[in-house]
Structure 1
Amino acid sequence: MALRLDPVRLFIADDVGVGKTIKALLIARELIDRGEVRRMAVLCPPYLCDQWEKELREKFNLEAVVIRSSTLGRLERHKPAHLSLYEHYPIQVISIDWVKSDRNKYQFLQFCPELVIVDEAHGAAEADPRNRKQQQRHQLLREIAQDERRHLILLTATPHSGVEGAFRSLLGLLRPEFRELDMGSLTEAQRAELARHFVQRTRKDIEQDWEEGRCFPERISVDVTYALSAKYRELFDRTYEFCSEIVQSGEGLEERKRRVRYWGALALLRAVMSSPAAAVAALEKRAGAPELGEEEPDFGPFIFEPTDELVDDEAPTPPIEEAEATLPESDRRRLRRLARMARELLHSEEDTKLTACVETVRSLLQEGFHPIIWCRYVATAEYVGEALRHALKVAPSGLTGDGVQVTVITGRIGEEERRMRIEAIDPEGPRVLVATDCLSEGINLQEKFTAVLHYDLPWNPNRLEQREGRVDRYGQTAAKVKAVRFFGRDNPVDGAVIDVLLDKAREIHRALGTYVPVPEESESVMEAIFNSLFLRGRDRLQGLQLPLFEENVALQAFHRRWELDAERERTNRTRFAQRALKPEEVRRELEGVDRVLGDPDAVREFVLSAAQRLGLSVRRDPKDADVFLIDVSEESLRTLPDPIRVTRQRILSELAHPSPVAPQGSPFGADRRSPTWRVSFVSPTPEGAEYLGRNHRFVTALARYLLEEALTKGKDAVASRCGVMRTRAVDTLTALLLLRVRYLVEIPERVPLLSEEVLVMGYHSLSDEEDPWLDDDEALRLLAEAKPDANIPFAEKRELVEMVLEEIGAWGGDGQVWGAGHPLQARIRARIGGRAKELEESHKRIRKAVSLRVRELRVLPQFPPDLLGLLVLQPVVRP
């Protein structure tokens, strides 16, 4: 789709976890390799910067710099004074919230790269003017898009928030006329034109084109409930009564104070139901009642989880403090008594929520899952983590080892330390991660975890999907993942959230096959629900209160709106699932590329063979046939040639001393000092292993070293350029030529691009045949599969090589295939000319001649080619 647009203006709105990042970077890498793009920038939320840098480096061998306030000084010191950051560093990952400000954006716009990728683009849609942050992002993107020649790729799993104007504002970045589209009544011509730029696929759409089995795990969703103990029930009852009273008594206050009391009551109730630790943190660590200002503060982020922002996971102290300022001293004393009751529950058997969680985690571990426990507040996460460490010191029944690894990560920990803690988790042993929503975006967790448990139910279904999407995504090697909704069956607050939001989200997902974002007014609806709970009285809070919800007019309207959004989403995904794409056409082009560059099997064979020749110890992991263990100890590295050792030491150094500009994540077992490097050549990659593809810098370093050494050292090189083999694979003397061929790719109005590839050609030597040349597939097969079946004296080898060199007219000592007048030269030149025509047609076919420039594209072979290698196959004399 991208290559058929000029410029590339593409909106990728696929489901969560199906590889939008990889798709965008495949396009970027292709444009860079074609010479159409020299510089690119990724604009993303600050918490995603390091993840983008890691994907660029590990999967595409593109060295990016992260540009944000914390890296600015260092980057400035390492560039020439006369160049801006955006001119000097070709691959950039930039915090959109840093660059959107007036102080920073003008220089970026002045030197903006030719390609810009925008992640989480829904957060940059046109918004209410009061949302200044989002408006600044949108204005930045509009100015970027004004350059009609700039390539622009937008990414989001939630393109439509339910506000039609916001969605059209994003489409308008692709083409201005899209801003005026009426999505409810598109003409066929409008739909077809938009479909060239917009793609929205579900997992089902992708799996229909996937012929090698499932590419996503099966998600098993279950509910686990607990009952409050007598003491926890008493704490809840007293908290609820207190909250209800201050909300009801505040009805007569001015609007500002009435709202503050409501927010304080909601914050207190949510903290108490999260954990006794969160209740203590919210009630005991207050700075005292503050002075109330004139304007009502925005306490929403302390209570609800916004979809497109990271959640503040600290205790909701500010709204409680503000509410306290409106209360008499008698009510403040009641708050202190609630704090004492919460403290008495800490780590006691009366905390049945914690006890039930521990047992559920034990069960998940025994089933072979590695769970993430999601908590709302820092205090809760630390409390749960401490309890799990104590309870799981001895591995649960059925597991072996010294215990279970329990790691706790919250928003109090910096981004770099979060990554280091994740990397330090041993993928070989049982493990549990306890985290707040600071990890629900930005760090891929599917390599080490296979289940989630929502210790605190989110009050936003979108956040629920983001949490579960950390493990249920492309790259998950487990066949099944488990998602546990964990809630109190006698807790009316959990009941309200489940009935109003989470069950409705699940119902829509089952019907549609994907999640539909909750409408924007969800917070106001939930406020109305909770306000009703407070005002109705304690006697109305038994069970899940279905009658109460059924009579709520606002709730009914809200659900109808959500259903309409789901129907609109169903229609759009049907229209823009891009079923016109033909997987067989893509496969044909991909197979052609793999024949030249090598598929994963070829990469594996190359690395293993090169390692053997260089004396680098590589062995297969006895526990996983797809994983190989490379010895990277100091002793082993000492025997390697300098270029390979420097490359390996550089990666080791980055692991030991990660840069704040470019944090690293390559696995070296559980310990960074481990002398064993776990690698794999398959994708999705087994957990704990690093993927070695043909773009990986270790692979490219091996290839570059072996080629350059062969060209300069001759007979002393590790890899010989000439060889002779006596084999049963042929019946007549056969020569295989390894030719490096160059082409000039000419596109009008652009600088010509010089490209090269290696061709394998074979022919029957000393043959009287009219056409002694082998077809390409047969030549490749012999090169890959021919095995020596008998010894041959060195003198005879030398004689055969010299004979073939003279036969093809290449005997000149510099490796070039000589003049066109030689008998075999015509065939070589004709084959290269035919290959150039094939490449030209492939370029035009892929791009569908989108412009006059492409229609006039020419691929011109450059003669003479280089003769890189020669293999002579001599048949075994049969008795």
Structure 2
Amino acid sequence: MTTQFAPGDLVRARGREWVALPSPRDEWLHLRPLSGAEEDATLLFPDLELEPPQSARFELPADATPAVQATAALLAEALRLSLRRGAGPFRSAAQLNFEPRSYQLVPLLMALRQEVPRILIADDVGIGKTIEAGLILREFMDRGETDAFSVLCPPHLVEQWIRELKDRFGIDATAVTSASAARLERGLPISQSLFDAYRQTVVSLDYIKSEKRRDAFAKACPGFVIVDEAHACVGTHKGKQQRFALLKGLARDEERAIVMLTATPHSGDEDAFGRLLSLIHADFASMDFDDDRYRQRLARHFVQRRRRDLTDEEWQEASAFPTHLSKEEPYRLTPAHRDFHEAVLDYCFGVVETAGTGQRERRLAFWGTLALMRCVGSSPAAALSALRNRAGLEEERMEPQLYDDDGDEEDAVDVEPTPMEIGDAALADLIAQAEALTTAPDPKLDRLIKVMKPIVEDGGQPVVFCRYIATATEVGRALKKKFPKACVETVTGLLTPEERRDRVASMADETPRILVATDCLSEGINLQLLFDTVVHYDLSWNPTRHQQREGRVNRFGQPADTVRSVLMFSPDSAIDGAVLDVILRKAEAIQKATGVTVPLPDERGPVTDALMASMMLRRRSERQFDFFDALSEGTRELEAMWRDAEENEKRSRSRFAQNALKPHHVAPEWEKTRDIIGSPAAARDFIGAAMKRFDTPTDRKKGVVHAPLDGLPHVLRERLSDRGLKGTVRLAEAEPAPSGTTLAGRAHPLVATLSEALLETALEPDALPGLDVGRVGAWPTPAVAERMDVVLMRLRFKITVHGRQERLLLAEEASLVAVGPDGTATSGAPVRDMLLATASGDLAPVARDRQTDKARVRLEAHLDGAISDHVRARADELIEDHARVRAAAKGISRVSVEPVLPPDVIGLFVLLPGAS
């Protein structure tokens, strides 16, 4: 009969020792070598083995290699940094390659206090919603509560999610887009869907929302879903309706975890907000949130923090974000430019006047007027492109393009539109004026150059955002001419997403650098590591687009202390003035009052009317048009909408502000975990010590560690190459990591490879011949006043999650325990300090061996006494930690922890009193 093994048991099979891991099938054994890494694990079918697997015990061998203080300390750090299955309540901590801020742990704690997480994270742009969602996902994966997931996001965010999951969380996901789906499906059996074959995916919402794909996805959708830009999945737009139908179907499965992200949850539309909340629970669609009972219920699922909430005295996170300074730069039009603006405006109003009295005809004419005037205000080049563009836009795309909505056609976001018919002799006159202006001095461009000179001279790295391709092209050309020593690149929708990323990345080693971009870069590519200034060359007509532009630079991880933004406009321009008064000034006032940037009202008819009326009032011509009075009602309606938006936002803040979890609930739990598994600082110190041990020292320059890998042993170079590391690796010592570097966190491939190799060498000396990493030693040290036996151990625990589906997990933890002559045990940081203290001398080999032989005899008593007590006490402590973090809420799974005894003794070191 085959011996049964549980996770955490030691097994001897195929001539070596293994530790049993949770197995996907009862009759199989899932084993990891005791001295190997997670990726060395294998599945084994006991009945097919020549020698049946047997129970094993981990012993300190009699011929263990002697160690000195330096190698003993290195071994202790290698053990701590090599373990990936943490025992504490944050099991994911050992898998992270960054140090989360305390406020970013709040959504994770909220999720852990729910049986099935349903969370809406509505933090400000740039706070780190992707990180917060990734923390929840990684934690539930490491708890064994999910092994498959899908991230649903707009197409331009797919690659960003792929990179973030890989770089920060060590998760390899597959991108599913219109471009990749056919390739992924090629070769799959007819009975197997793409989502059956690929269980960890990042999916384009626009690819999956169609009815045919939606139904196929719903059948194979995993039990954990993240929805980014969730606000784009509710509303009246056809694409939003399709997305909502998809999510509503997924939400019907009450066992499915759903984490939604948005910086604009309300949008001034209570119905849309209710639909969004209904994805958490159907009841939330119609609840009265003025009632405290409903508010308290929602507060368990909804978190919304403004930046100002995190920089106050309570959270004290001001250092996490740069100071934001903004200013306006008005410029005057030349007489020729003003005449051109007036000529186009008069022509457009004439078209409107003859468009007929029907609402549809009049509205199309209004849109055409605003679209063309927007191009005129952007640049002569954009105006000329629009006037020459006779094709126009499809009717359903006119309004979203005009108001900078997040639409389905991301590749067309910066194309110059002409949704009106221009077919008479006036067209030739307008084109002639535009052509003349393209070769004349441009006051807007001249003002930009004047603005840019001090920025570049002071070492600033600016991004100039333009609305249209033609404008960006002209601006980029002019800046290259005026700043010949700077690296100037232009990125527009003419480039593929991959080309955009490559062009931005190519600027990393160049200074000074200037990026000219259209709004194809206002989402999807974070720019904070390369740029610190945003210039709005063209006004956006949607306040959230301005926020998105600035959010590419002004966000968590920005290394500069100050981020600047510059808003350019002309008081002589009827269109600039109208947009400022009707849209941007109103939104700015609400932002100052509430701390939240509100989007443009969903009902765009009054917005259009108000813009048209404002432009008419700003004309130099005294001619009046018969439709002016009809626009006044729209202007008054829009004013009421803005007032309602402000009141709704104020009411929302008082209703839904996250006040339940405070810093003192979050920070101590994380600090406790970090002390056990090792911090990023400990990882960086370990890299330096380990590389030195391999006779390949690192070099530190301006906060960046240069680690040359070519001098490492061949077997290590191969392992590192398999993990994508070659040549000289540049490691940042702290976040934000400069461009071209990665943060040297505990889960970095270099840290993982070195720690696993050193541990393997200590346990199996033949693994890396010539590298002496001993397991026993004795030396005098000023760190102790009496003899101390320091035992380095790998503790193993069986963690059982008692719920609807009981799960048994393996947890491992490094531990240092010092036992004094009286049998009293000390553990934790004090013992680590003892071991790290430099020895005051060396013992003769005979004296060293005598001390270690005596310590071996005492070890048996320690294992039966003080050490066993320590391990059991740690198990009890873990039960309390898990219960506290999950708050023992009703319905939440209970956790029990069983220690595996005896622990694995990795090292035994005798510290003797000795003068420094």
- TM category (shorter chain) comes to 0.7 to 0.9
Give me the whole-angstrom Cα distance separating, in 1, the residues matched to 2:695 and 2:225.
44
Q: Between 565-574 and 109-118, report the one with greater CA deviation.
A: 565-574
Matching residue of 1:338: 430
* Equivalences for residues 230-309 of structure 1 within 5 A: 230-251=335-356, 258-286=362-390, 298-307=397-406
1:219 matched to 2:310: no
Pick aligned residue for 2:123 from 14, 18, 32? 14
3-state DSSP of counterpart to 2:559: coil
Matching residue of 1:807: 858
Give me the whole-angstrom Cα distance separating, in 2, the residues matched to 1:81 and 1:737.
57
Q: Quickly say closer, same or farther: Cα 1:823–1:727, change in 2 above 3 A.
A: closer
Shift of 1:98: 1.2
Matching residue of 1:642: 715
3-state DSSP of counterpart to 1:725: strand
Q: Quickly say closer, same or farther: Cα 1:536–1:489, change in 2 above 3 A.
A: closer
Give me the whole-angstrom Cα distance separating, in 2, the residues matched to 1:842 and 1:438.
46
Shift of 1:83: 4.8
- Residue ranges of structure 2 left out of the alignment (5+ in a row): 1-109
1:358 matched to 2:396: no
Shift of 1:182: 2.6
Matching residue of 1:515: 597
Contact map agreement 2:610 2:634 (CA 8 A) in 1: no
Pick aligned residue for 1:579 from 646, 659, 667? 659
3-state DSSP of counterpart to 1:42: strand
Q: One-letter code of the match for 1:189?
A: R
Q: One-letter code of the match for 1:151?
A: A
Contact map agreement 1:644 1:702 (CA 8 A) in 2: no
1:707 matched to 2:759: yes
Q: Quickly say closer, same or farther: Cα 1:712–1:425, change in 2 above 3 A.
A: same
Give me the whole-angstrom Cα distance separating, in 2, the residues matched to 1:78 and 1:869.
51
1:680 matched to 2:732: yes
1:529 matched to 2:610: yes
Give me the whole-angstrom Cα distance separating, in 2, the residues matched to 1:215 and 1:870.
42
Matching residue of 1:407: 489
Matching residue of 1:33: 142
Contact map agreement 1:616 1:640 (CA 8 A) in 2: no
* Equivalences for residues 364-443 of structure 1 within 5 A: 364-393=455-484, 403-427=485-509, 429-443=511-525
Pick aligned residue for 1:181 from 262, 287, 299? 287
Contact map agreement 2:578 2:615 (CA 8 A) in 1: no
Contact map agreement 2:605 2:634 (CA 8 A) in 1: no
Q: Quickly say closer, same or farther: Cα 1:376–1:742, change in 2 above 3 A.
A: same
Give me the whole-angstrom Cα distance separating, in 1, the residues matched to 2:658 and 2:363.
48
Shift of 1:58: 0.7
Give me the whole-angstrom Cα distance separating, in 2, the residues matched to 1:279 and 1:420.
30
3-state DSSP of counterpart to 1:774: strand
1:118 matched to 2:198: no
Pick aligned residue for 2:824 from 753, 772, 790? 772
Matching residue of 2:900: 862
Give me the whole-angstrom Cα distance separating, in 2, the residues matched to 1:782 and 1:537.
78
Matching residue of 1:690: 742
Q: Percent identity?
A: 37
Matching residue of 2:875: 836
Q: Deviations over 1:323-346 (max 9, x none)?
A: 12xx4xxx3x32223223222322
Q: Quickly say closer, same or farther: Cα 1:758–1:531, change in 2 above 3 A.
A: same
3-state DSSP of counterpart to 1:858: strand
Contact map agreement 2:778 2:851 (CA 8 A) in 1: yes
Give me the whole-angstrom Cα distance separating, in 1, the residues matched to 2:634 and 2:530.
42
1:781 matched to 2:873: no
Contact map agreement 1:454 1:486 (CA 8 A) in 2: yes
Q: One-letter code of the match for 1:651?
A: G
Q: Quickly say closer, same or farther: Cα 1:375–1:860, change in 2 above 3 A.
A: same
Shift of 1:412: 1.1
Shift of 1:284: 3.1
Matching residue of 1:467: 549
Q: Quickly say closer, same or farther: Cα 1:347–1:681, change in 2 above 3 A.
A: farther
Q: One-letter code of the match for 1:443?
A: I
Q: Deviations over 1:640-683 (max 9, x none)?
A: 44344443465358xxxxxxxxxxxxxxxxxxxxx654321322
Give me the whole-angstrom Cα distance separating, in 2, the residues matched to 1:120 and 1:744.
39
Contact map agreement 2:797 2:900 (CA 8 A) in 1: yes
Q: One-letter code of the match for 1:136?
A: Q
Higher relative contact order (CA 8 A, sep 6+): 2
Give me the whole-angstrom Cα distance separating, in 2, the residues matched to 1:50 and 1:677.
23
Q: Quickly say closer, same or farther: Cα 1:132–1:256, change in 2 above 3 A.
A: closer
Contact map agreement 2:610 2:631 (CA 8 A) in 1: no
Contact map agreement 1:247 1:535 (CA 8 A) in 2: no
Shift of 1:736: 1.4
Matching residue of 1:545: none
Contact map agreement 1:305 1:311 (CA 8 A) in 2: no
Shift of 1:75: 2.9
1:729 matched to 2:783: yes
3-state DSSP of counterpart to 2:125: coil
Q: Quickly say closer, same or farther: Cα 1:206–1:213, change in 2 above 3 A.
A: closer
Give me the whole-angstrom Cα distance separating, in 2, the residues matched to 1:76 and 1:706.
42
Give me the whole-angstrom Cα distance separating, in 2, the residues matched to 1:798 and 1:79.
62
Q: One-letter code of the match for 2:566?
A: V
Contact map agreement 2:778 2:912 (CA 8 A) in 1: yes
Q: One-letter code of the match for 2:172?
A: E
Give me the whole-angstrom Cα distance separating, in 2, the residues matched to 1:34 and 1:250.
64
Q: One-letter code of the match for 1:735?
A: D
Q: Quickly say closer, same or farther: Cα 1:377–1:537, change in 2 above 3 A.
A: closer
Q: One-letter code of the match for 2:382?
A: A
1:506 matched to 2:588: yes
Q: Quickly say closer, same or farther: Cα 1:368–1:505, change in 2 above 3 A.
A: farther
3-state DSSP of counterpart to 1:539: coil
1:149 matched to 2:255: yes
Shift of 1:630: 2.8
Q: One-letter code of the match for 2:456?
A: L
Q: Considering only aligned residues, what root-mean-square deviation do their CA atoms show, in Å?
A: 2.7
Matching residue of 1:796: 847
1:761 matched to 2:817: yes
- Residue ranges of structure 1 left out of the alignment (5+ in a row): 394-402, 543-547, 654-674, 810-821
Q: How many residues align?
A: 797
Give me the whole-angstrom Cα distance separating, in 1, the residues matched to 2:428 and 2:267.
42
Matching residue of 1:165: 271
Give me the whole-angstrom Cα distance separating, in 1, the residues matched to 2:854 and 2:714.
34
Contact map agreement 1:281 1:379 (CA 8 A) in 2: yes
3-state DSSP of counterpart to 2:911: strand
3-state DSSP of counterpart to 1:719: coil
Q: Deviations over 1:49-74 (max 9, x none)?
A: 11111110111111111111222244
Q: One-letter code of the match for 1:601?
A: A
Q: Deviations over 1:95-148 (max 9, x none)?
A: 1121222222233222221211111111112x33xx332111111111111111
Contact map agreement 1:244 1:534 (CA 8 A) in 2: no
Give me the whole-angstrom Cα distance separating, in 2, the residues matched to 1:492 and 1:701.
63
1:871 matched to 2:893: no
Give me the whole-angstrom Cα distance separating, in 1, the residues matched to 2:648 and 2:846.
77
Q: One-letter code of the match for 1:336?
A: A
Matching residue of 1:826: 865
Q: Deviations over 1:375-417 (max 9, x none)?
A: 1111111110011011100xxxxxxxxx111111111111111
Give me the whole-angstrom Cα distance separating, in 1, the residues matched to 2:418 and 2:676.
62
3-state DSSP of counterpart to 1:684: coil
